[in-house]
Amino acid sequence: MSGTPLLVINSGSSSLKLGLFEATQHEIRPLVRGTADGIGSDRGKVSLQSADGRVLYDEPQAVQDQGNALAILAAQLSAQGLPAAAAVGHRIVHGGPALREHQKITPRVLEQLEAAAHFAPLHVPAAVALIREAQRLFPGVPQFACFDTAFHRTLPEAAARFPLPEKFWNDGARRYGFHGLSCESILHTLGNARSPRLIVAHLGNGASITAIANGCSVDTTMGLTPTGGIIMGTRCGDLDPGVLLYILRANGNKVAELEDLLDRRSGLLGISGKSRDMRELHQAASGDPGARLAIEMFARSAKKAIAGFAAVLGGLDLLVFTGGIGEHDPAVRAGICEGLQCFGVRLDERANQRGLENIGSAQSQVLVRILPSEEEMQIARHTYRLLIS
């Protein structure tokens, strides 16, 4: 092996992705990818695949938490005789106001992360626990934090600030934005073909829309936390603040219950009363009005955000769909683009159904593309840069 082996860890609420990469100054090459799904349930599954698609390990098993998932995957990497990582890179959703640059993890950085837990209670404590487990599993190996919020440091104050008294701005209550690593990976893929006015629609269980002008984030739908913005799988997205006050009063001011409602029981799941999974909603839609309504509301919320950001950008050159839904759901893409013709967006129906990379019609004034989100690859790039700097 001629390059530097890097391990990348990307944790979700009920899943964990892992990648082993080989890095040189000229390229980052994937070697192995691993996943653990169904974490916290008795229907978990752990798998490991080589870069050429060979299945190295694939077993159903109960996985207690993300740390347990990492330990299982690390053991499988070792059993396959793969090279030991020279560095470990972590995706961190939120670092609060103090941590907004990709950096090496030190005791001080861990302290600052723990202090930022109230900004993203769903994500930060789990991320800290996972870092500590990685430090136990890979003693002495330098570890690096790559923040989803880092890409959005370029937001102008008019976009980042909430209409609240200045005290809250000074205390760190602002729009941070998320899915930044996904946006960075899209820009890397585009390279010199990057358009000056770009909107990235990252659509999955978590979903956000980001407006990018000349490579810089200028507005985005998610705000202080990943709960805000457009409708998501179980997260509500933006709400009239009066709705929150109403819910608190009606439920005896139980903040923990409100948090659970907004993050785990709303969105597609809350609307449909059936599922957070868009695939299951499509299957049920023909005979289930709730499933149809959830799909329609999801597309409508994304459409409204794209239209608003086209105005912020002063026009639109390129619209990119990415994420699980964005890459694989032609019906949702069509639903979002329907009505955006006034901004020059027109889909080629056959290309969209086939999931081709370019899905805009010949008459479309806006390029419309499907590009994969390569968050793990982007983390590997940052980790290698920080390791050799």
Is 329 an annotated catalytic residue? no
124, pLDDT greater than 90 = no
Whether 189-370 and 4-147 are alike in CATH topology: the answer is: yes
The pLDDT value given to residue 1: 63
Exposed e or buried b per residue across 169-208, where buried means at least 16 C-beta atoms within 10 angstroms of its C-beta: eeeebbbbbbbbbbbbbbbebbeeebbebbbbbbbbbbbb
Q: pLDDT tens for residues 322-340?
A: 999 999 999 999 999 999 9
Residue 68 to residue 127: CA distance in whole angstroms: 13
Residue 310 to residue 352: CA distance in whole angstroms: 21
The pLDDT value given to residue 252: 85
310, pLDDT greater than 90 = yes
122, pLDDT greater than 80 = no
The pLDDT value given to residue 15: 83
Q: pLDDT tens for residues 339-372?
A: 999 999 999 999 999 999 999 999 999 999 999 9
Residue 144 to residue 134: CA distance in whole angstroms: 11
The pLDDT value given to residue 41: 79
Residue 145 to residue 129: CA distance in whole angstroms: 13
The token pair at 45 is 């599954």
Q: pLDDT tens for residues 221-273?
A: 999 999 999 999 999 999 999 999 999 999 887 999 999 999 999 999 999 99
Share of the chain above pLDDT 70, in %: 99
CATH (residue range 4-147): 3.30.420.40
278, pLDDT greater than 90 = yes
- Look up residue 342 and give its DSSP letter: G
How many other β-carbons are positioned within 10 Å of the β-carbon of residue 356?
Answer: 12
Average pLDDT value for the chain: 95
> Which contacts qualify for 263-268: CB closer than 8 Å, 24 or more apart?
263/122, 263/227, 263/234, 263/235, 264/234, 265/234, 266/234, 266/235, 266/236, 267/231, 267/232, 267/233, 267/234, 267/235, 267/236, 267/237, 268/231, 268/232, 268/233, 268/234, 268/294, 268/295, 268/298
Share of the chain above pLDDT 90, in %: 90
Query: Mean pLDDT, to the nearest integer, of 130-135?
Result: 96
Query: Mean pLDDT, to the nearest integer, of 40-52?
Result: 89
Residue 219 to residue 305: CA distance in whole angstroms: 10
Which CATH superfamily groups domain 189-370? ATPase, nucleotide binding domain (3.30.420.40)
The pLDDT value given to residue 258: 94
Which residue out of 37, 148, 263, 329 is catalytically annotated?
148
Domain extents in the chain: 4-147, 189-370
